[in-house]
Structure 1
Amino acid sequence: MHQTSARGAAGCPALEDAAGLDLFDTGFVRDPYPLLGHLRRAAPVHYDSATGLWLISRYADVRQILLDPATYRPDNAQQAVAALSVPTLRTLARAGFKLPPALANNSSSTHTGLRRVVTRFFNSARVAAATPLIDATARQILTRMQDRYVPGADCDLAADYARPLPCMVMLQLLGIADMPASTLLAWSDASLELFYGWPSPERQAHLVDLVCDFYRWLTSQVTDAAPSHSLIGALRSHRMPSGEPVDPATVVAVCFFAFIAGQSTTGQLISTVLRHALADADVWERSASDESFASAWVEEVLRREPPVTTWRRVTAREVELSEVRLPAGSQLLLMLMGTGSDPEIFDQPDRMDPYRANIRHHLSFGAGRHRCLGASLARTEAAVALRVAARLLPDATLTKGADPQMLGLLSFRAPTRVLVRHN
């Protein structure tokens, strides 16, 4: 057992290769697997001095943490990773921006009730009923792309298809009218980068204006009359354990999380699914005709390359993980992406195998009381998106030589473009 302090890695297993670890480095973002594998083997509990986070990389440790929210609290899940500049903080204050405990960052007794309200909009029955809508929306988007999908020209399936699809579907499912998908996507991008990226003060000045626009819009939606069948209306009717109605700030916090998580990460998943499928002609062809295969392919991508790569927790008391003792208040970063390649759990983890027996044992949606409540919708949207694209664009191929640009935030990773050409 190793005695450690929260400020350093004294006593941690040696990890010479991670001395210069940069979680935002382009090389790591493009190919994180070698370092994630090295972390699992050499230092499954590793202190990253740049972020002040303890990197937890073994499947067993991460699962233990996720299933014990009393010991490993989610209170830090939505805190900004980088220090926000004074002008940025002032802009947030002027907008009245605050995110009280609601869903992902809530360890209190109010979490269960709030989660139950949101889950009604993403449960399996509702997702099944929405499948025709997802299919029709996918076809509509691809049909509009036909004038650009011509020999010799590139089409970006990430920007033009994968990202707007779940956003358009979610707006309809949540009863949000008169909101362009492009606006919500811009707000979501800015929010993720500001709180999960490492933006410069100059970049923060741009991002924070968009974040505050989003927050002010949500606040106006919450304070105005909302239909009872909408998410906002359902939240406003909710009663806390005390019997009191939920306060407006908490409703806004729930919606801030749900409106981003309900579409942004799914768009990232679809982009990754499409890129991998297009790289293998047999996978692309089979996805067009075999629904079960398309769903299995999505599941294997979730295991190997999920859009949510990490998540945070903070210890409520002193704990021991993989023979490393951490004091109360230690900030943890759960390496979700790395757990999907843990050879203790998955045989030949670097091989894409949609028929592996334990394909759903991954932790990409989390586990326990904070497990992703939109998992069913994300799986369905990704499978439908793959199937429809493979059917309507059967001769599509990845553009040769295109730079595989990647979104590389602390907890989110995906191709920012998937360029294809008419073959």
Structure 2
Amino acid sequence: MRPASSSAPTDMGGCPFDRSNTKAPNGCPVSAEAGNFDPFDTPYQLDPAEALRWSRDQEPVFWSPKLEYWVVSRYEDVKAVFRDNLTFSPSIALEKLTSAPPEAAKILEGYGYAMRRTMVNEDEPDHMERRRLLMDAFLPENLEKHEGWVRELVRDYMDRFIDKGRADLVGEMFREIPLTVALRFLGVPSEDAKELRKFSVAHTINTWGRPSPQQQLQIAEDVGQFWKTAQEILDRMRADPTGEGWMYDSIRMHETHPDIVPESYLRSMMMAILVAAHETTAFATANAFRTLLSNREAWNDICENPTLIPSAIEECLRVAGSVVAWRRIATEDTEVGGVKIPKGGKLLIVQASANRDPRHWENPDEIDIYRHNAAEHLTFGYGAHQCMGKNIARMEMRIILDEFVRRLPHMQLVENQTFEYLPNTSFRGPTSLWVEWEPAQNPERLTRSVLENPTHFHIGAPIKDDILRRVVVSEVAREADAVIRIDVVDPHRRELPDWSPGAHIELVSGKWRRYYSLCGERGDRSRLSFAILREPEGRGGSIYFHDTVKPGEVLHIAGPKNHFHLDETAARYTLIAGGIGITPILAMADRLKALGKPYTLHYCGAGRRTMAFLERVERDHGEALTVHAGDEGCRLDLPGVLAGLSEGEHVYSCGPERMLEALEALAVNWPEGTLHIEHFTARSSILDPENEHAFEAVLADSDLTVQVGNDQTLLEALTAAGVDVPSDCCEGLCGSCEVAVIEGDIEHRDLVLSRAEREASDRMMACCSRAKGKRLVLSL
């Protein structure tokens, strides 16, 4: 059943599949695609996101009769389910998808198997009470001490095959390192590791697979052995609980808080966390290497610049994450994406599909290691149940990749190999990954300095300042008095990313970082074009770029990014550009003309000689254009131009602050969403601690409280607490750090929200806005 809010509404105002004989639990007939969906079929097993493309486009929440689950495929819907862990209980997360025969249950019983609730599948308030007690070891500041020995471990494994010229990275390294790291993090003695290695894979097939009755018997033996071995190790640790590691921390918490950390929890977590830490990271690492080696340009870029590794890892987690899907059960009658889900309905929420949803991602099917918002992927989940070990996994993957790009940059995938995956719904990674290289070309044979000065990575989400793309200036041209156009191309003449009207790039050179809207021909992916107005009274960036940028110069950019999107569904458009504000407006006019949409364009300037791209604007948009040149006495009468707005008409404007403020004043009584504006510059974002006050931010989705000091922004405090919040300009201009506010008075300091949006008090920009009082409650 399509949700009522879907971009593909039903034609009949109800169920669109009334000819189907199969009915979903809500009474809606099941579509042919939904009826045929089987996660154990080849398409889903090979590429779950591609297998659900039809769902994202047509039926984002559907009932699967073969699975007997509701399948959720779009980004916002998946995130909404994760956010509400009361309505959507995680209690079935570890429930077997395939019922075991009685013989298998007897085998498990013989081993004393007694898996109970863990952090993965327990409800509130138990989950958060335990999580708070046991979270310290996972905080970024407490993970840094592990970096050195993890790198030593990686080098030790690489030394075993570095001169062989061929290796199965999964079998010889990727399967081993995450388990070794997990065991050491837990405090499990190394002599016990060998036994645990034998059985961990069985748990995945047992829980999320579709094994035959005969296979279930052997799986039950392996799971039983895994359980028995884990319990024996735990008993030895409990006998002497003075050791170091997370399990020792948990044992000591059990002794002081037995009501919150009972013995049954210790026993279940001993097994569950090994599976979580081992298989997910092993699979994710293998997926990342296959992704990068299959996209040689991306691999070469990180070999050239290892500081790109964190963003490359996030992009790999987005397009090829190891956690494909998770499960929830509805505790009451509810809705997801407009589709009614009855109480007791089971949901398969497919993160792999959400991570490729074009409603959230620009160019979602492309591998772009420079993607500015890749860390918004849902592979780690979201909210209170977001993976506690996400930053351990990031650290391991970054170090492994850093060592490979230094020591084996010439490595390649073995051609024509077949990739096989464990058949299950939720975890994905190849069982082998063969690579080859020429040992004589190993850089360390020429110099041991390859092993010196490894890249040190910040613990946590990527630092946005490191996600920069090298470009070369191909042309600098004067477009008007004090305005130059700069065209940049890829150094290797590769295609640059596609972009949408209103998009911008961040231009970086030395200490200068400035934002400029794109204004070239969208279909030409060989170059990106932007214009810069020389501002003598500005902060110096425009003067620097005017005076120094020459053809052939290497610059760096971040993006493209778009926080000024064009809504292409409006009935009619009025476009208003002031001065250099023509750059995003011109791209919008080009798009509307290509779509055949009705629009008018007003272009204002001090005089024609100061108005960039005027000749092109007149050539391409003459019929819709009115030029308002001040030196000709033709000033824009905003009230007059906008007095006759038609129903459904949208207004887009970019220009000087005075013009935008006048527009906002006129728009007070317009329907919400009519006016769209983009500002040039921010108000001062420098904090003055003497004039600020501290406050607390309560994160409702995560059940955490973060203290925000008088010398901190909310964004800084959240980042320090290990909470991943997207950010870009950090000046209140772009809107990327928007967080939802449930409760509390907000002191808005951004230039993004409209007056009505501010009055609603349900959102704020974390980079600059603050609490008026002592407390805010956020949807994070």
The bucket for the TM-score relative to the shorter chain is: over 0.9
1:397-416 pair list within 5 angstroms: 397-416=412-431
Residue 414 and residue 11 in structure 1: after superposition, are their counterparts in 2 closer, same or farther (change >3 A)? same
Aligned partner of residue 325 in structure 1, secondary structure: strand
2:310 is aligned to: 295
2:28 and 2:400 mapped to 1: Cα distance? 44
1:130 and 1:254 mapped to 2: Cα distance? 21
- Aligned amino acid, residue 205 of structure 2: E
2:246 and 2:86 mapped to 1: Cα distance? 28
2:759 is aligned to: none
Shifted more, 112-121 versus 195-204: the winner is: 112-121
The alignment status of 1:332 with 2:344, answered yes or no, reads no
Does the CA-based 8 Å contact 1:155-1:421 persist in structure 2? yes
Task: Return the offset for 1:162.
Answer: 1.4
1:337-356 pair list within 5 angstroms: 337-356=352-371
Residue 64 and residue 27 in structure 1: after superposition, are their counterparts in 2 closer, same or farther (change >3 A)? closer
Residue 306 and residue 198 in structure 1: after superposition, are their counterparts in 2 closer, same or farther (change >3 A)? same
Task: Return the offset for 1:227.
Answer: 3.0
1:162 is aligned to: 174
1:244-255 pair list within 5 angstroms: 244=259, 246-255=261-270
2:126 is aligned to: 110
1:246-265 pair list within 5 angstroms: 246-265=261-280
1:85 is aligned to: 101
Aligned partner of residue 262 in structure 1, secondary structure: helix
Stretches of structure 1 lacking an aligned partner (at least 5 in a row): none
2:135 is aligned to: 119
Length, aligned pairs only: 418
2:327 is aligned to: 312
1:131-142 pair list within 5 angstroms: 131-142=147-158
1:16 is aligned to: 32
Q: Which has the higher contact order (CA 8 A, sep 6+)?
A: 1
**Which of 238, 241, 246 is residue 227 of structure 1 equivalent to?**
241
C-alpha RMSD of the superposition:
2.4
1:272 and 1:348 mapped to 2: Cα distance? 20
The answer to which structure has the higher helix fraction is 1
Aligned partner of residue 422 in structure 2, secondary structure: strand
User: TM-score with structure 1 length normalisation?
Assistant: 0.92
1:42-81 pair list within 5 angstroms: 42-81=58-97
Aligned partner of residue 46 in structure 1, secondary structure: strand
Residue 395 and residue 161 in structure 1: after superposition, are their counterparts in 2 closer, same or farther (change >3 A)? same
Shifted more, 243-252 versus 289-298: the winner is: 243-252
1:36 and 1:13 mapped to 2: Cα distance? 19
User: TM-score with structure 2 length normalisation?
Assistant: 0.51
- Aligned amino acid, residue 325 of structure 1: K
1:163 and 1:325 mapped to 2: Cα distance? 42
- Aligned amino acid, residue 178 of structure 1: S
Shifted more, 236-245 versus 342-351: the winner is: 236-245
Does the CA-based 8 Å contact 2:231-2:270 persist in structure 1? no
Task: Return the offset for 1:236.
Answer: 2.3
The alignment status of 1:396 with 2:396, answered yes or no, reads no
Task: Return the offset for 1:301.
Answer: 0.9
Task: Return the offset for 1:290.
Answer: 2.7
Task: Return the offset for 1:295.
Answer: 1.2
Q: Identity over aligned residues, as a percent? A: 26
Does the CA-based 8 Å contact 1:289-1:387 persist in structure 2? no
Task: Return the offset for 1:123.
Answer: 2.2
- Aligned amino acid, residue 114 of structure 1: R
Does the CA-based 8 Å contact 1:308-1:336 persist in structure 2? yes
Does the CA-based 8 Å contact 1:76-1:313 persist in structure 2? yes
Aligned partner of residue 130 in structure 1, secondary structure: helix
Residue 270 and residue 161 in structure 1: after superposition, are their counterparts in 2 closer, same or farther (change >3 A)? same
Task: Return the offset for 1:159.
Answer: 1.6
Does the CA-based 8 Å contact 2:192-2:233 persist in structure 1? no
1:240 and 1:172 mapped to 2: Cα distance? 22
- Aligned amino acid, residue 123 of structure 1: L
Aligned partner of residue 52 in structure 2, secondary structure: helix
Look at both structures and tell me which one has the larger radius of gyration over its CA atoms: 2
Shifted more, 308-317 versus 95-104: the winner is: 95-104
Residue 114 and residue 7 in structure 1: after superposition, are their counterparts in 2 closer, same or farther (change >3 A)? farther
Does the CA-based 8 Å contact 1:8-1:47 persist in structure 2? yes
Residue 290 and residue 277 in structure 1: after superposition, are their counterparts in 2 closer, same or farther (change >3 A)? same
Shifted more, 285-294 versus 261-270: the winner is: 285-294
Shifted more, 192-201 versus 125-134: the winner is: 125-134
- Aligned amino acid, residue 227 of structure 1: P
Shifted more, 382-391 versus 304-313: the winner is: 382-391
Task: Return the offset for 1:281.
Answer: 3.1
Aligned partner of residue 367 in structure 2, secondary structure: coil
The alignment status of 1:217 with 2:229, answered yes or no, reads yes
Task: Return the offset for 1:101.
Answer: 1.8
Deviations 1:25-80 (A, max 9, x none): 22321133333111112221111122211101111111111111111100000001
Task: Return the offset for 1:245.
Answer: 6.6
2:263 and 2:254 mapped to 1: Cα distance? 12
Residue 188 and residue 136 in structure 1: after superposition, are their counterparts in 2 closer, same or farther (change >3 A)? same
1:342-381 pair list within 5 angstroms: 342-381=357-396
Task: Return the offset for 1:326.
Answer: 1.1
1:179 and 1:117 mapped to 2: Cα distance? 29
Aligned partner of residue 211 in structure 1, secondary structure: helix
Deviations 1:365-394 (A, max 9, x none): 111110000111111111111111222222
Task: Return the offset for 1:322.
Answer: 2.1
Deviations 1:253-282 (A, max 9, x none): 122221111121001000011111222333
- Aligned amino acid, residue 69 of structure 2: L
Stretches of structure 2 lacking an aligned partner (at least 5 in a row): 5-13, 439-780
Residue 7 and residue 143 in structure 1: after superposition, are their counterparts in 2 closer, same or farther (change >3 A)? farther
